[in-house]
Structure 1
Amino acid sequence: MTTASRIGTLPDAASKVESAREAVSNAVDTLIQQLESGKSEQLLSYLSTVAKFHKYSFGNVMLIMGQCPDASRVAGFRTWKTMDRNVKRGEKGIVIIAPMIFKDKDAKKKPRQLEEDKPIVRFRAVYVFDVSQTEGEPLPEPDRIDGDPGLHLAKLESAIESEGITLHTVESLNGADGTSSGGTIKVVDSLSDAERFSVLVHEWAHELLHQGKHVDKTARPSKVVRETEAEAVAFVVSHSVGLDTKSASSDYIQLYDGNKETLVASLDRIQKTACTIIEAINDHDGNDGPSPSRNDNTPKPPIPPVANEVQDAKPEIEVHELELSRFAPGEFCYQKERTVGEGDIVSSYSADKIAFTNSVRNPFTWKGQQWIMTGGKGSSIQAYRLVHPDAFLRTATTYEKRTRDDGGEAARHDPNGFYDGMTVTRGKKTYILCGPPVKLTPGKAVQTSLFEIAQQHTR
């Protein structure tokens, strides 16, 4: 394919980012028009795309779907070369949005001496290419399933129980296949393994989205929307592991209640929750033995990396990457300002505070993205990406708003992290902490664990 079908013309200028964001908005408008006319094909296409690219943001999923609806695996030009594949001559890339961090030429200056209007973080359009636009060595296929969830079911059950949720298998639930009640999930014993997998994902989605202790039940969407969100999450997760989703219901139309913002928020929740569940399944071994489709002694081929939205962008200016010794948590400073200093962002000076005892520590760059450590000592140390508002397509918040109603109880149980979406400012500069966070292993393993886990989050 030479030219991906596009949702808009993206110019070759600095306005690419804004044009890409407009393209996302236009794609949502098109989706709404279809839903209003009683059609759900576009929404099902979005959910199928999320299943293939669950680590990509809502906006970038919309961009990929709009430009290349049949995309199955995307990566940047250089990433494809590492897999012994080359982009075919004449192919046009798929535009997504990624941050660019510019090297600080005045790193030795103190934070307060830096120019207020000096650009530090920008966002620009970068290009990825679908596998169909490349040629070269064949790629090993991911370990997928056809009709039988196999080991994935055991992994799913193990992941649910590791979250402190009790699983019960019962004879009857008065006509329902499953229920969730804030810490307990029940499913009937008459389900096939594939049905049990889908129902468990559906009910776990309820736990994460609507039933958990951290959920503000006074602000929940309607019951119809809640059920549709949970079913959409089950669709995405089932599709991602290869289960049949052809019987997906047109009831997904009910996600739209006439309000564009609530639809976008709902689609964002679906993407984030599906990502949480998919990664939890991947992180668990399961307890029911090997998958029926694969013998224990059969070597599994390495799965090629998914595209990194940032590392595939060729920097126009050299990225400033801090030396390893700077990763150790430093002393606090600027306690009264409760902000992240502009100098800290590029130079890893000692940390500012957002508020009270919740500290933001040494910012650093890794593979073109900004990260900031938060939390206290030991296992509570975490790192969040620091992003520019232009690339944060969800609704940002503040520490005060995050903790106003319940003292931060809901935020502390948010699977995307306490600081997710929280704004930090200095002067007229505003940045946003983006989860889910990377949890750091204390001691000497901090540096190693950061590199290993951050790589998963930035794919």
Structure 2
Amino acid sequence: MATEEEMRAAREARLEELHGRLAGAVERLVTGEDWVRAVSFAARFRSRSFSNTLLIWTQHQAAFGQGRVAEPFPTYVAGYRQWQGLERQVVKGQAGYMIFAPVTARFATVNPSDPTSWRRLARGEKCKTNEVERSRMVGVKLAYVWDVSQTDGKPIPEPPAPRLLEGQAPEGLWEGLAAQVKAAGFDLLRVPDASVIREANGMTDYAARTVAVRSDMSDAARVKTLAHELAHVLMHGPDNPETRAHRGIAEVEAESVALMVGAAHGMDTSGYTVPYVSGWASSVKDTSPVEAVKATGERVRRTALGVLDRLDTLKVGDGNPLGLDREPPSNAGPRLAFRAASVVESQQVRLGEPVPAGRGL
């Protein structure tokens, strides 16, 4: 029987293997077209972090190449017990896709505004009457998910999806994006053509607090441009401390947010263009291209998710099968120790390192 030290070493070895898989998946994002495909795919699995999305994507592609699944792209993924809770069973012999799941701990303090005052609570320990308690991520562990094609059982309900004609924008999307521009304190201007805004499709003026979009484009192009400029408003203002550090990839981030917002509404993403990945990823100082790509992907996902959450529009699914809030059958065993919407790491985290509040998977 393995000792506790041997089991810990085995867990750490599997985590290292998963980190290696993630690095390999990121390194394979070579061209701008590769990045566009990855972000478009992430839009359909947007409840999961960019890192775990890449892991799911590459492992499913490998399974397709080996003939273990019938389709090249996954549609819905969930944990073993979660599929049982939906009255489906993983098919015998189907290997799950490895992903990162958070390890959390409870912390308490009498002064929440002082980050150094938080103390970790022991298992079963209660905080004192004058203390505030919060859970924080302190590391990651290995978890597994399976695509619906690796299971059988009760059919999965299909949510309604938008259907768009060429050049058409989803109903209500322009109005929803415009409302967010206004809520951010910017005036939205419609200009007649590109000559008014330096031959661009759109322009954000932080000093004047305006966002301008050309009127002489199709509905879809105008919506895409507005989403791009809204990303600049939310991510790249002069008061944003990260703007200077990531100045070289601001356009990549804005275009990627627009792509993800569009893809989440079923819009065609073939017209989106992103510069050669190794070029912009190498422009971030003191950061490896692999880490720059992971960090950019996660910033894009979080920003796009914030925009999408504020939109009252019909969207495609997010990769989670309907009904995951249901409890599993009583004989299904314990629930997995992670939520379907929180199973991917945003950045590499070593076990045992405290993570500030607000940073999660």
Tell me which interval the TM-score lies in, with the shorter structure as reference length: 0.5 to 0.7
Say whether residues 1:138 and 2:156 are aligned partners: yes
The residue correspondences of 1:203-352 to structure 2 (distance < 5 A) are 203-215=229-241, 217-222=243-248, 225-249=249-273, 251-253=275-277, 254-257=279-282, 261-262=288-289, 264-285=291-312, 304-305=321-322
How far apart are 1:194 and its partner, in Å? 0.9
| CA distance in structure 1 between the aligned counterparts of 2:40 and 2:17, rounded to whole angstroms | 24
Structure 1 counterpart of 2:188: 167
How far apart are 1:143 and its partner, in Å? 3.2
**Residues 294-326 of structure 1: CA deviation (Å, up to 9, x unaligned):** xxxxxxxxx845979xx99xxxx989xxxxxxx
How far apart are 1:187 and its partner, in Å? 0.5
Aligned length: 297
Structure 2 counterpart of 1:49: 41
The residue correspondences of 1:50-199 to structure 2 (distance < 5 A) are 50-69=42-61, 70-100=73-103, 107-108=124-125, 123-135=140-152, 136-147=154-165, 148=168, 149-172=170-193, 173-182=197-206, 183-199=209-225
**Residues 384-411 of structure 1: CA deviation (Å, up to 9, x unaligned):** x9x9xx9562699xxxxxxxxxxxxxxx
The aligned amino acid for 1:141 is P
Say whether residues 1:19 and 2:43 are aligned partners: no
| CA distance in structure 2 between the aligned counterparts of 1:93 and 1:77, rounded to whole angstroms | 9
Residue 54 of structure 1 contacts residue 271 of structure 1 at CA under 8 Å; is this kept in 2?
Answer: no
| CA distance in structure 1 between the aligned counterparts of 2:35 and 2:322, rounded to whole angstroms | 27
| CA distance in structure 1 between the aligned counterparts of 2:228 and 2:266, rounded to whole angstroms | 16
How far apart are 1:96 and its partner, in Å? 0.4
Percent of pairs with identical residues? 25
Classify 1:16/1:156 alpha carbon distance in 2 versus 1 (closer, same or farther; 3 Å): same
RCO greater where, 1 or 2, for CA within 8 Å and sep 6 or more? 2
| CA distance in structure 2 between the aligned counterparts of 1:26 and 1:306, rounded to whole angstroms | 33
Q: Provide the secondary structure at the position in 2 that maps to 1:268.
A: helix
| CA distance in structure 2 between the aligned counterparts of 1:185 and 1:194, rounded to whole angstroms | 17
How far apart are 1:285 and its partner, in Å? 3.5
Residue 76 of structure 1 contacts residue 307 of structure 1 at CA under 8 Å; is this kept in 2?
Answer: no
The aligned amino acid for 2:36 is L
How far apart are 1:168 and its partner, in Å? 1.4
| CA distance in structure 1 between the aligned counterparts of 2:306 and 2:49, rounded to whole angstroms | 15
Residue 35 of structure 2 contacts residue 274 of structure 2 at CA under 8 Å; is this kept in 1?
Answer: no
How far apart are 1:59 and its partner, in Å? 2.1
Residue 27 of structure 1 contacts residue 62 of structure 1 at CA under 8 Å; is this kept in 2?
Answer: yes
Classify 1:107/1:144 alpha carbon distance in 2 versus 1 (closer, same or farther; 3 Å): same
Residue 21 of structure 1 contacts residue 59 of structure 1 at CA under 8 Å; is this kept in 2?
Answer: no
| CA distance in structure 2 between the aligned counterparts of 1:25 and 1:279, rounded to whole angstroms | 26
The aligned amino acid for 1:228 is V
Residue 166 of structure 1 contacts residue 184 of structure 1 at CA under 8 Å; is this kept in 2?
Answer: yes
Classify 1:191/1:106 alpha carbon distance in 2 versus 1 (closer, same or farther; 3 Å): closer
| CA distance in structure 1 between the aligned counterparts of 2:173 and 2:15, rounded to whole angstroms | 38
Residue 238 of structure 1 contacts residue 245 of structure 1 at CA under 8 Å; is this kept in 2?
Answer: yes
Classify 1:107/1:179 alpha carbon distance in 2 versus 1 (closer, same or farther; 3 Å): same
- TM-score, scaled relative to structure 2: 0.67
| CA distance in structure 2 between the aligned counterparts of 1:249 and 1:71, rounded to whole angstroms | 24
The aligned amino acid for 1:126 is A
Classify 1:392/1:202 alpha carbon distance in 2 versus 1 (closer, same or farther; 3 Å): closer
